[in-house]
């Protein structure tokens, strides 16, 4: 008999009932150190007082009105994002995959209205992840995500990661956009080198397509900058955001320049829930903290300390780990032992980590994790590595 919850996930046998900062408490009382943060969602950890306050205050006033009316919290959050980024305009969604849907629609509509309706094709990259909607799986294109779901949304080209010649050859007069994650998350914590992102921007400027960045996982302070592309000193035309922006409340956004967003006039797109008062009250509370340069500088300092300790861990367990990679607090341990074994071994040490493709162990702690918690995490990872190594 099928489970009452559609069994699309292989779940760990854990039932968390409470969260406190970087800690998750199991129903039986065990305290787990959380280096997954709900897959980079709980950017400020669990039950952050400012977020709880924003949510409960808004919950007592007004939950939902729909986008038939002005929503002051939504306008405030849009203003904050416009103020802090390249963007001139923002549309709010409930998830990353909905942000992908709009990013694709926006790029196509831009060229439709610009008198180049043949520009519909989106160039995307192998190993990428853009969500589970029809556009999201077509954009990622992997067999694992698309098998059995055809016919797929047409108009996507997939290129190998880092093949510059293939990219130059693939752009033509039908290309609407290049879509890429500045740091691949699900694909195995693979950062795009700064010069490659600069090269993509130049290529788009030269040849016409829009640059869409998927910062759903790497954005909102995760890399130690508010958005990951800031490291390369270039700006996209369209950017997808979700995960960390809601700190655990479902919230996503598409940010765009005036030029890229101008074709999305009244009636061209919508969302019943997107940007509702509850979600945006929390989003504002997240942005107030995360967009502060002093907070981001602390993230960079914590990330540096964590990375250094992880390098030591890799050196101590050359049979288990191969290398550390990533950016800021979006870190990956490339494994020699099967990453799934390490995830299980970490659970035995009351530690939550997340697997990714390419046999990588993902470490995505809350951005406000303390130095003591980082040290504790490394101690537990060390114990997990020892147990995996002795069972090989």
CA 225 and chain centroid, separation: 14
Among 213, 242, 337, 343, binds ligand PLP (CB under 6 A): 242
**130 binds ligand PLP per the rule CB under 6 A:** yes
Give the number of other Cβ atoms within 10 Å of residue 184's Cβ: 27
Q: Is 216 in the site for ligand PLP (CB under 6 A)?
A: yes
Nearer to ligand PLP, 353 or 385 (CB): 353
Compute how many other C-beta atoms are within 10 angstroms of the C-beta atom of residue 202: 11
Considering only 33, 58, 71, 181, the residue that binds ligand PLP (CB under 6 A) is 181
Under rule CB under 6 A, residue 223 binds ligand PLP: no
* Residue nearer to ligand PLP on the CB measure, 242 or 329: 242
Residue 208 falls in which region: left (phi positive, over 0), alpha (psi -120 to 50) or beta: left
Is 320 annotated to bind a ligand? Reply is: no
In angstroms, the CA 354 to CA 332 distance is 9
Q: CB–CB of 226/290 below 8 Å?
A: yes
> Would you say 58 is a known binding-site residue?
no
Q: Which residues pair with 211 in a beta bridge?
A: 178
| 207 annotated to bind ligand | no
Which residues are CB-neighbours of 70 under 8 A, at least 6 positions away?
Answer: none
The answer to whether 129 is a known ligand-binding residue is yes
Least distance (Å) between residue 93 CB and ligand PLP? 9
* Stretch touching ligand PLP by CB under 6 A, among 12-20, 129-137, 294-302, 330-338: 129-137
Q: How far is the CB of 165 from ligand PLP (least distance, A)?
A: 25
Residue 227 lies near ligand PLP (rule: CB under 6 A)? no
Exposed (0-12), middle (13-18) or buried (19+): which is 173, by Cβ within 10 Å?
Answer: exposed
95 touches ligand PLP by CB under 6 A: yes
User: Is 101 one of the binding residues for ligand PLP (CB under 6 A)?
Assistant: no
- Is 185 annotated as ligand-binding? no
214 annotated among ligand-binding-site residues: yes
User: Which residue's beta carbon is nearest to the bound ligand PLP?
Assistant: 96
- For 323-338, b/e burial (b = at least 16 CB within 10 A) is ebbbbbbbbbbbbbbe
Strand order in the sheet with 23-26: 16-20, 23-26, 31-34, 351-352
Residue 190 as a binder of ligand PLP (CB under 6 A): the answer is no
| Residues of span 140-159 touching ligand PLP by CB under 6 A | none
As a whole number of angstroms, the distance between CA 339 and CA 122 comes to 32
| 236 touching ligand PLP, by CB under 6 A | no
Cα separation, 184 vs 218, in Å, equals 8
Extract the annotated binding site for pyridoxal 5'-phosphate. 96-97, 129, 214-217, 272
Extract the annotated binding site for N(2)-acetyl-L-ornithine. 132, 271
- Binding interface with ligand PLP (CB under 6 A): 95-97, 129-131, 181, 185-186, 214, 216-217, 242-243
């Amino acid at each position: 008999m099928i489970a009452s919850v559609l069994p699309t996930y292989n779940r760990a046998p854990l039932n968390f009932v409470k969260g406190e900062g970087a800690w998750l408490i199991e129903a039986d009382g065990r305290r787990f150190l959380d280096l997954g943060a709900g897959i980079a969602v709980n950017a400020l950890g669990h039950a952050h007082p400012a977020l709880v306050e924003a949510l409960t205050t808004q919950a007592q006033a007004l939950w939902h009105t729909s986008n038939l009316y002005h929503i002051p919290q939504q306008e405030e959050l849009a203003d904050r994002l416009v103020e802090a980024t390249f963007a001139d305009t923002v549309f709010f969604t409930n998830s990353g995959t909905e942000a992908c849907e709009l990013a694709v629609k926006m790029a196509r509509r831009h060229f439709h209205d610009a008198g180049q309706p043949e520009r519909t094709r989106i160039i995307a990259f192998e190993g990428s992840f853009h969500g589970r909607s029809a556009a999201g799986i077509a954009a990622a294109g992997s067999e694992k995500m698309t098998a059995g779901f055809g016919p797929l949304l047409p108009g996507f080209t997939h290129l190998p990661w880092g093949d510059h010649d293939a990219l130059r050859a693939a752009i033509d007069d039908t290309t609407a956009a290049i879509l890429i994650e500045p740091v691949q998350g699900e694909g195995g914590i693979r950062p795009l080198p700064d010069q490659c992102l600069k090269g993509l921007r130049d290529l788009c400027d030269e040849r016409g397509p829009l640059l869409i960045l998927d910062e759903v996982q790497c954005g909102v302070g995760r890399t130690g900058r508010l958005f990951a592309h800031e490291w390369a000193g270039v700006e996209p035309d369209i950017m997808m955001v979700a995960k960390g922006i809601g700190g655990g409340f479902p919230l996503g956004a598409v940010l765009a320049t005036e030029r890229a967003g101008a074709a999305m006039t009244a009636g061209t797109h919508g969302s019943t829930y997107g940007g509702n008062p509850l979600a945006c009250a929390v989003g504002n509370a997240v942005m107030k903290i995360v967009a502060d340069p002093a907070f981001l500088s602390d993230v960079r300092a914590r990330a540096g300390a964590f990375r250094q300790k992880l390098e030591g861990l890799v050196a101590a367990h050359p049979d288990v780990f191969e290398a550390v990679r990533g950016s800021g607090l979006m870190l990956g341990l490339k494994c020699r032992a099967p990453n799934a074994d390490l995830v299980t071994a970490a659970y035995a040490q009351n530690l939550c980590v997340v697997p990714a493709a390419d046999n990588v162990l993902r470490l995505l702690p809350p951005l406000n994790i303390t130095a003591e918690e980082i040290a504790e995490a490394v101690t537990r990872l060390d114990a997990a590595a020892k147990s995996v190594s002795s069972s090989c």
